[in-house]
Amino acid sequence: MRKLALLATTAIIIAAPAFAQTQPERSRAAQAQNAQSQGGTPAAGTRAEVVNATEFVRMAAVSDMFEIESSRLAEQRSQNAQVKEFAQHMVRDHQKTTTELQQMIRQASAAPLSGLQMPQSLDQRHQAMVQQLQGAQGAQFDRLYAQQQVQAHQMAVDMFRNYGQSGDNAALKQWASQTLPTLQQHLQQAQQLQRSTQG
């Protein structure tokens, strides 16, 4: 009996490291499956890294809608000439990218873009940001608008860069890469605007 007990104990000790090695692998596999089920990739750490075409179109369209809606509000509310000029620029440029995206979807006949619909309203997060702006006045409005513009454009830059590098639709990848420099310029301008409205 003692020999059997020793043999059993030895077997457990030998098997334990092998079992321990499989646990992280199982965990990684579960994370990969979870990421794929959410339309992303196993390496995706944030929503900005999603490379699924349907999700990219939805996020890009919502981003444009937010830019247009918040910037129209800035045109109406702000008394700051620099803020108003930036807002006009945003409305003009993001209307252009919205039109380009709509045309690409209309002309697409191959999956995954065929039958894809542009979203018609903001998501909950961006709607809450617009509501924050609606409740602000004067210099507080200008600061909040500039802050939101920096955040929104940072996310857009990350999203377009990542999709341009590793997206799953060739036409969208090309469009993302072509649009990226404009978004990077917007981000720089938003950062300058944020600095100028802090005082």
**30-84 tens-digit pLDDT:** 443 433 333 333 333 344 555 688 899 999 999 999 999 999 999 999 999 999 9
Query: In Å, what is the CA distance from 186 to each residue of 132, 160, 175, 177, 180?
Result: 21, 13, 17, 15, 10
Q: Is 99 helix (H, G, I), strand (E, B) or coil?
A: helix
Q: CATH top-level class for 50-197?
A: mainly alpha
pTM check: above 0.85: no
Prior bond of 112 cis (ω within 30°): yes
Tens of pLDDT, residue by residue over 118-139, are 899 999 999 999 999 999 999 9
Amino acid at 48: A
First to last CA, the chain: 82
